[in-house]
Chain A
Amino acid sequence: MFEARLLRSSILKKVLEAIKDLLTQATFDCDDNGIQLQAMDNSHVSLVSLTLRADGFDKYRCDRNISMGMNLGSMSKILKCAGDKDTVTMKAQDNADTVTFVFESPNQEKVSDYEMKLMNLDLEHLGIPETEYSCTIRLPSAEFARICRDLSQFGESMVISCTKEGVKFSATGDIGSANVKLAQTASIDKEEEAVVIEMDEPVTLTFACQYLNYFTKATSLSPQVQLSMSADVPLVVEYRIQDIGQIRYYLAPKIEEEDS
């Protein structure tokens, strides 16, 4: 028996909004510790890793580890049926081939349940090596979303370069070029609005704007976003979800063409 209850459905709704454009289907791995989801997009360029800890749920019970393959489009449709303030409960029997979502309105007057068929998915689990990153940048998530949106008008790819002066985002294309520089915030009054850069070595990497724009769909989950970079390894974009977990996106950089 698996049962997980969240007081506010909005978290789950936002999580789904944050992944459903990248992934069409994914497996939710549930065990004692909570819910995990790890999946690559079809072209194996980006990876989503989602963790929702058991202690972040209002009620959490998982007698036997279960993996539920879900069609994220269908799941999103179901979650759209829930009000933002509704309580949501996910339920599944051991070895079940369906999962049930129960929505309860705050005054308990309306209870709706939706059953969804699970899918038979076999997915590749990727081992993500522990990496020490040369640069980590924390900035307001809305700011990051804005930069990605603005720069994607100029070109397909965006260069992120981090030096001790600050971080620079740039794009070049047919109409011209665009540069956005962010310096470290001098005094931190509000932690949520700060730009904090930790750097051991300067790094410059190129990424596809399209994917970054998919990642920023998670903006509403967290006021801050953290970017971690090292030369020649994937970028990590992390959004912490308050009290319950985090969502991490990995994105393979674009590489200079070797002459062949």
Chain B
Amino acid sequence: MGILGLSKLIADIAPHAVKEMEIKNYFGRKIAIDASMSLYQFLIAVRSEGAQLTSVDGETTSHLMGTFYRTIRLVENGIKPVYVFDGKPPELKSHQLNKRAERREEAEKELQKATEAGDQSQIEKFNRRLVKVTKQHSEEARQLLKLMGIPVVEAPCEAEAQCAALVKAGKVYGTATEDMDALTFGADVLLRHMTFSEARKMPVQEFHLSSVLKGLELEYKEFIDLCILLGCDYCGSIRGIGPKRAIELIRQHRSLDEVLRNIDTTKYPPPENWDYEEARKLFLEPEVRNPSEIEIKWTDPDEEGLVKFLCGDKQFNEERVRNGAKKLMKARTGTTQGRLDGFFKVLSTTPNPKRKAEEEKKSAANKKAKVGGRGRRPK
């Protein structure tokens, strides 16, 4: 589920760290996609009249439809996608997963109620909440991607962590996911809304970790602590501390340990057996495969294989599948447009002098606030 309220916090405090780009600007870039995240997206969004698309025997095919057409959209825009699949969830996440299971049960009950009452909008709402990416879904998606000639990477643990490792190693340009934790795992470039449907005309949001850190005035380690305080997948957070208070506290005390020492724990009780140190370790040294051992290779699509796999039982239109395969093939041939960044060096990014003045004023005000605060600032 990512980090609670992080994107909003960044948009408020460090708006310059977020850039909105058109998808066509990413031509030639290799992008790591968090597969389970996007499969989930497809299961929710790719529907016809509110119901998932199914094969003859009622098996869901929404995820295949989404994977097929949206991957083609990326490829047509010149992007080279790599899908990264989750491995086993880390132990720390079990708590979070239990919570999710509870919520599913609740939704199931609600759904029953709604069905009895015949309330269509409610039925739809809870139906969507019950969506889960199963082993079979991801297995089928893997098979499909293979036929499309798109590389797949198996993460030993969390996919976001593996994506981040690929970005850090320079194997890919950025990672496309909606979860903000890719930043916490140290991915320098995070892209949101990449796999959205074309019809929504959503610009791609590009987050740069370095500008996020600069904007928030934090070091990377402090940023991890901030994310834990905001609420992550791996441990609880302190009740009553919202995003605004969290950033203030971290800026003032520079680490979670110091924050705990300085806040009034009776007023803001931390969760019992709060294992934030383990969570921190998980972000810093996640279990990933060594990127240099991973070979990422794009191959020609297997048109006949795709037709065999998608048409027939799964009821895809043969002509459209063949068309899609041709599009994939076309993108493989020909030349790629180069970029100037490769030829010319960026000498300086000059922020507008006026804005700089404003920022200085702001940070001066912040410093004043820090001096007035009760905590000392350890360094």
Contacts and interface: CB of A to CB of B under 8 A. Distances in A.
B347 A125 contact: yes
B338 A255 contact: yes
Interface stretch (A1-9, A39-47, A55-63, A79-87): A39-47
A187 to B, nearest CB: 38
B296 A260 contact: yes
User: Which of A40, A121, A124 counts the most chain B CB atoms within 10 A?
Assistant: A124
B340 A95 contact: no
Nearest to A156: B334
Contacts of B332: 257
Interface string B295-313: 0111000000000000000
A116 interface: no
A255 to B, nearest CB: 5
Among B27, B335, B339, chain A packs the most CB atoms within 10 A around the CB of B335
Contact residues on A (Cβ < 8 Å of other chain), bracket:
20 to 34
Contact of A44 (B334, B340, B350): B340
A228 B42 CA distance: 48
Contacts of A206: 335
Interface string A96-126: 0100000000000000000000001111111
B340 A97 contact: no
Number of chain B interface residues as a range: 20 to 34
A34 interface: no
Nearest to A96: B354
Contacts of A126: 340, 344-347
Given A126-B340, A255-B336, A256-B335, A42 B21 contact: yes
Given A43-B27, A125-B348, A126-B346, A67 B337 contact: no
Contacts of B352: 67, 69, 120-122
Contacts of A123: 349-350
B353 interface: yes
A125 B350 contact: yes
Nearest to B352: A120
B24 interface: yes
Contacts of B22: 42
Q: Which 8 A-B pairs have the closest CB atoms?
A: A252-B338, A254-B335, A126-B344, A122-B351, A43-B25, A127-B347, A120-B352, A125-B347
